[in-house]
Structure 1
Amino acid sequence: MTRYLITGAGGFVGRNLAGALLDRMTPGDELTLLDREVASPHPRARAVEGDLGEGAVLEAALAARPDVVFHLASVPGALAEREYALGRRVNVDATLNLFEGLADAARPPTLVYASSVAVYSALGTAPVDARTPLHPQLSYGTHKRMMELALEDFSRRGELRGVALRLPGIVARPGESSGFGSAFMSDVIRSLAAGKPYTCPVSPGGAAWWMSAPCAARNLLHAGELGTPGTWTLPALHLSVGQVVTALSTLFGDDRGALVTYQPDERIEALFGRYPPLHTPEAEALGFTHDGSARRLVRAALTAR
């Protein structure tokens, strides 16, 4: 029997991870879903609703002493930048409290931490690999790097088996993706698939690292099964907006490209539209994967919960 906990279970990645995990769970396994709100919890899952930063909520979530924890709860980039105190409270203070509440040298649980490629500095044209310096430009990225280091220290002490995964842009988020400067990545997919016009804040040549939510869920589950401590940048597709639009046109009709109007926003493009190629042989050797192609990315992204 394995006891699982997902924090941020009501969020976009959390919903997809919970669904994928429930499909894999065996009789006797237990799952706790933690978030401020958890809509329609599965009969096999226990919901704990509340703020992770509140001691009573954290205590309730840890009551079952989970064996594997997926820590997804966070205040995202743009929101963490606007509201520093909120971002610090959730991304740093509550996360450290979670690590400390789980730490157990006699029986260390596996903790899979959803970090972010926001830990990198302003990127040039050289490919990103394990030697690329880490100099985050936003508070969100700084928070993520701080917690990577903290998790590495808990692992060194033998109190947790910490696996930090640096997630790229995950698509395709439903509705308005408030708090994320990279929202255009989801919006362009959902708008064009539905045949709706879309004004894109990044030029057609603007490139980013893309991953579908189902692929992200598979990688997170793989990390939980692997249980190998370390910090890894996940493989991701390096695609321009134009390539994604072409994939959408191939799948849904040539008219889809005409639905896009490009009005580049310099700040958004500088942060999210000038990514160089990504080389992740270390993560790939451990079994982590990307979506395979732009068309597969779009297909998978549109099945996201």
Structure 2
Amino acid sequence: MRPSFDLPPNARVLMTGAAGYVGQALVKALALSAPTSWQWVLTDTQSAEGARSEANTRWVAGDLSDPRVCDALFQQPVHAVVHLAGLMSGRTEQDVALGERINLHACLDLLARCRAQHSQGGPLVRWLMTSSIAVYGTPLPPRIDDHTPQRPSLSYGTHKRMLELMLDDMNRRGDLDGRAVRLSGVVLRPVLPNGALSGFNSDLIREPLSGRDYVCPVSPDARLWLLSLPSALAHLTRLLGLDHATWFRVMGPAGTCALNAPAWPVTVQEVLQAMAQIDPQAPQRVQFAPQPDLQSQFGAWPQDVSFALAQHLALTDERQTFKHDLSAFMRQLAQSILIP
């Protein structure tokens, strides 16, 4: 069944980070599900290979921190923004000034333009942003639910939390229809030097199932949260099209614009056992060299979780989709690397 979209038939939708891993997949997914009358403005530092070339699509390549790029993005009124662009966790830790420029200041400029558009009589912008479970810092609590305090211990998580608060304030003032979904490490990511510290989640699965040895930077008892790309796309599509009344009914009492996307809490050992159902030799290709800092931030996620807000908004929970059969979930992931 095609999803419904509570946006004007002629909506002009801006997507940042459209050439990234999630961005390219979301562009393709929305091309199949969104109204064909929508106008698209896609932006990234460079256009994606094989990028959309339809008459209703325009690419703007450039750095979001360049005012001229933002001027081009807002040449005409914008009805919705899907903000995926950002500098990943590892690179942000290495270059905090660059991280602030891309993750924080460029985004604040876009938000200011949304507010100015509405204050001048233009459309109220529906803003959908990918946030991150990195808003939770170390030591991670024994349980995470929709009311767990956010105390980030990485600059990347701090930037995401600051933007969530900005969305809350703009929503309160009626300047924006702001929504943020906190994603865990999306699998299976390709081998890319994008600086995501949680990228080992994908490496742990992809490398052994591809017949290659892998040195895991967390221990066998490390606890991960896994989220497949198709599920992440479903979350974003659902929240982009969700009507404001339903969104406010669920999120208003919570007093926040941000919710945790349902993820699958697993241990590394459980991942290896599930992989063995696909390739009995795969677990033997994994060795361990735990890095304490990485394990404390990305390998200590609680198994006691609640995604109540997401459930109220009918976001997919893959544990239910696969009837809590982790090996079935892993088989779906393996299809993307041509494992029969």
TM-score (norm 2): 0.84
Gaps of 5+ in 1: none
| Mapped contact 1:120–1:134 kept (Cα < 8 A) | yes
- Partner in structure 2 of residue 151 of structure 1: 167
- CA 125–162 in structure 1, closer or farther in 2 if over 3 Å, else same: closer
CA distance in 1, matches of 2:93, 2:259: 24
Once the two structures are superposed, the pairs formed by residues 142-291 of structure 1 within 5 Å of their partners are 142-226=158-242, 227=244, 228=247, 230-251=257-278, 253-277=279-303, 278-291=305-318
Give the aligned length. 304
Using the TM superposition, give the Cα deviation of residue 124 of structure 1 relative to its aligned residue in structure 2, in angstroms.
4.3
Q: Is the Cα–Cα contact under 8 Å of residues 211 and 297 in structure 1 kept in the other structure?
A: no
Q: Check the 8 A contact 1:213/1:304 in 2, yes or no.
A: no
Contact 1:123 1:276 (8 Å CA) reproduced? no
Residues 146 and 308 in structure 2, CA contact (< 8 A), matched pair in contact too: no
1:65 alignment counterpart: 77
Cα distance between partner residues in 2 of 1:60 and 1:164: 24
Secondary structure in 1 matching 2:277: helix
Distance in 2, Cα, partners of 1:300 & 1:99: 37
Alpha-carbon distance in structure 1 between the residues aligned to 2:105 and 2:21: 22
CA gap 1:199/1:175 in 2 versus in 1, 3 angstroms: same
Of the candidates 38, 43, 46, which is equivalent to residue 53 of structure 2? 43
Sequence identity (%): 34
Deviation at 1:110, TM superposition (A): 0.7
* Counterpart position of 1:113: 129
1:298 pairs with 330, 335, 339, which one? 330
Q: What's the secondary structure of 2:281's corresponding residue?
A: helix
* Cα distance, 1:18–1:299 mapped onto 2, change above 3 Å: farther
In the TM superposition, residue 193 of structure 1 has moved relative to its aligned partner by 2.3
- Aligned equivalents of 2:81, 2:332: Cα separation in 1: 25
Change (3 A) 1:219 1:300: farther
Choose the corresponding residue for 1:2, options 5, 8, 11: 11
**What amino acid maps onto 2:68 in structure 1?**
A
Cross-structure match for 2:98: 86
Aligned to 1:19: 28
Shift of 1:160: 1.0
Query: SS of the counterpart of 2:293?
Result: helix
CA 1:304–1:256: 2 relative to 1, 3 Å: closer
Q: Which has the larger displacement, 130-139 or 105-114?
A: 105-114
What letter is aligned with 1:142? Answer: T
What is the CA RMSD across the aligned residues, in angstroms? 1.8
- 1:255 maps to amino acid: Q
C-alpha deviation, 1:167, in angstroms? 1.0
Q: Is the alpha carbon distance of 1:259 and 1:132 closer, same or farther for their aligned partners in structure 2, counting shifts above 3 Å?
A: same
Q: 1:183 to 1:262 in 2, by over 3 A?
A: same
Q: What's the offset of the Cα at 1:119?
A: 0.7
Contact 1:68 1:111 in 2 (8 A): yes
Change (3 A) 1:302 1:217: farther
Secondary structure in 2 matching 1:254 = coil
* Alignment partners' CA distance in 1, 2:96 and 2:39: 35
Q: Which amino acid aligns with 2:201?
A: M
* 1:137-181 Cα deviation digits (max 9, x unpaired): 011111111100111111111121000111111111111343111
Q: Deviations over 1:250-270 (max 9, x none)?
A: 13x211111111121111111
In the alignment, the residues of structure 2 paired with residue 6 and residue 93 of structure 1 have an alpha-carbon distance, to the nearest angstrom, of: 17
Report runs of 4+ in structure 1 exceeding 6 Å deviation.
none
Residues 190 and 98 of structure 1: is their aligned pair in 2 closer, same or farther, counting only changes over 3 Å? same
Aligned to 1:95: 107
How far apart are residue 302 of structure 1 and its match?
A: 4.9
Could you tell me the TM-score, scaled by structure 1's length? Answer: 0.94
Is the CA contact (8 Å cut-off) linking 2:137 and 2:297 kept in structure 1?
Answer: no
